[in-house]
Amino acid sequence: MPKLKRPAIRTLWLTVHLYLALTVGFLFATIGLTGSLSVYHDELDGWLNPHLTIDQPQGSYQSLDKMLAAVKAAHPQRLGSWTLELPQTPHDMLTAWYEKPQESYFDYYAPLRVSVNPYTAEVVDSRFWGSTLMTWLLDMHTQLRLDGLGWQCVGILGGLMMVSVISGLLLWWPSVGGLRQALQFRYRQTVLRLLMDAHRWLGLLGAAALLVLAFTGMQLSFPQLLETFTGADDMGHGNTGKPVFSTARPNNHPVALEAAEFAARGPFPRATLRRVTTPLGENGTYRINLRQSGEINHKHPFTMVWVDRWSGQIKAVRDPKQFGTGQQLMAWMWPLHTGEALGAAGRFAWFLAGLCPAYFYISGLLHWLHKRGWVRDRPIDWQQVRVRCWQGWQTLLRTWAWLLPRIEAGGQWLVLKIVQWWQARIKR
């Protein structure tokens, strides 16, 4: 990457970097913070809703047919197709999804989620997407709570984020012999100098991660861009391909859920069951989602089998191991964006990367305000800082000692009240 020597070119990139920060920097920060929390969506949702965690799993799962019957008994007015998502751990609930409930039919995306204890087939809870804190945050991350328009805006913001990161790197990139000065961390000078040095360091360390997240986020909003380039159709997140229909004659003995799942395992006997979608209408098919060993997608695998609802015959198969290069690239987009493809360490790195845009926005804004004389800089008195930190630490310990018994006594009640208040606020 060449050093920007011409003042006009440097001024251009500085203007681009500055005005992106001033116009959409807050949105960068919002998407980053909500994305960081969404990395641990399932864990945080389980913590906020402890009744949806199975503390002591015992025995084997009930049959899929029995769990589906329990869901339909709890929601007899909801006709049509259901999708059963299998638990990923022994402590998780099975989730039954109903895509277009009457209560939120005209919303952009607000399916009903029914939590079922897989060991007892008991319906534990029913919640609409967007009515819980974690799904509200995920909607904010993916579409800024603006439905389809917001989805497109987030994709555009992903492209602008890449421009911002690249322009920041170009502005930082040192000349030959200037690397040492460019890497200075002047923590003994002033507060704003320290903030901006940290701004540059975090930008340098987090640039690769932010570029990957911005690119994959843009691709998830506009999958047709990469699909056109690679020739891989119907590979966007949540895209189940072209419709597959049952062709056998309707009869009085439709195929049961367990039988359809058994038939789907024929081509993939060692795969793990992830989802089963029931047929929609007389000519609908069972869609069975499986995950093969080594498949990069854990939560949303691409291995699919369609089974005729009347004859039990396999109508179509999608095998990721037969994907071409373009399809494999598309299959990486979702797990790479969420971090699940990178393991626990990768998810934590993505969590930290999501926090960076907020720091960049705050530190950059303070620097801009200081240059206009609206914020004063001041030297750092590290001795005073250490004294204040020690005093704050002592106060924190005393406060914690006072709070701990009260948290143990009333923490569960407080969490439930906060969740109820949040849900009531969202519904209003």
- Confirm whether 311 is domain-assigned: no
Q: Is the pLDDT of residue 177 over 70?
A: no
Q: Say what the pTM is.
A: 0.86
Same domain, 222 and 142: yes
Residue 130's region, left for phi above 0, alpha for psi from -120 to 50, else beta, is: left
Same domain, 111 and 4: no
pLDDT at 412: 62
Same domain, 64 and 126: yes
Same domain, 226 and 93: no
| 22 three-class SS | helix
CB of 197 closer than 8 Å to CB of 185:
yes
The per-residue pLDDT of the chain, averaged, comes to 90
Same domain, 80 and 90: yes
- Confirm whether 372 is domain-assigned: yes
Same domain, 32 and 57: no
Report the number of distinct structural domains present in the chain. Answer: 3
CB of 296 closer than 8 Å to CB of 335:
yes
By residue range, what is the domain housing residue 120? 50-131
Query: Of 114, 131, 148, which residue constitutes the final position of a domain?
Result: 131
Q: Is the pLDDT of residue 3 over 70?
A: no
Q: What is the pLDDT of residues 360-390, one digit of tens each?
A: 999 999 999 999 999 998 888 778 878 888 8
pLDDT at 66: 97
| 49 three-class SS | coil
Query: Of 102, 131, 160, which residue constitutes the final position of a domain?
Result: 131
Q: Is the pLDDT of residue 407 over 70?
A: no
CA atoms within 13 A on the CB side of 288: 32
- Confirm whether 55 is domain-assigned: yes
The pLDDT of 254-259, averaged and rounded, is 95
- Confirm whether 237 is domain-assigned: no
Q: Is the pLDDT of residue 170 over 80?
A: yes
Map tokens 């100098």 to a residue: 193
- Pairing outcome for strands 122-128 and 314-318: unpaired
pLDDT at 369: 96
Q: Measured between alpha carbons, how far is 289 from 305 in angstroms, rounded to an integer?
A: 7
Same domain, 151 and 198: yes
Confidence of residue 182 (pLDDT cuts 50, 70, 90): low
Q: Measured between alpha carbons, how far is 127 from 98 in angstroms, rounded to an integer?
A: 11
Q: Is the pLDDT of residue 427 over 70?
A: no
Question: Between the ranges 22-26, 101-105, 235-239, where is the mean pLDDT highest?
Answer: 22-26
- Confirm whether 272 is domain-assigned: no
Termini Cα distance of the chain = 52
Same domain, 209 and 172: yes
Same domain, 214 and 67: no
pLDDT at 216: 96
Same domain, 76 and 223: no
- In 10 A of CB 134, how many CB atoms? 19
Q: Measured between alpha carbons, how far is 135 from 321 in angstroms, rounded to an integer?
A: 32
Same domain, 2 and 121: no
The pLDDT of 269-273, averaged and rounded, is 95
Same domain, 75 and 202: no
Confidence of residue 7 (pLDDT cuts 50, 70, 90): confident
The pLDDT of 182-192, averaged and rounded, is 77
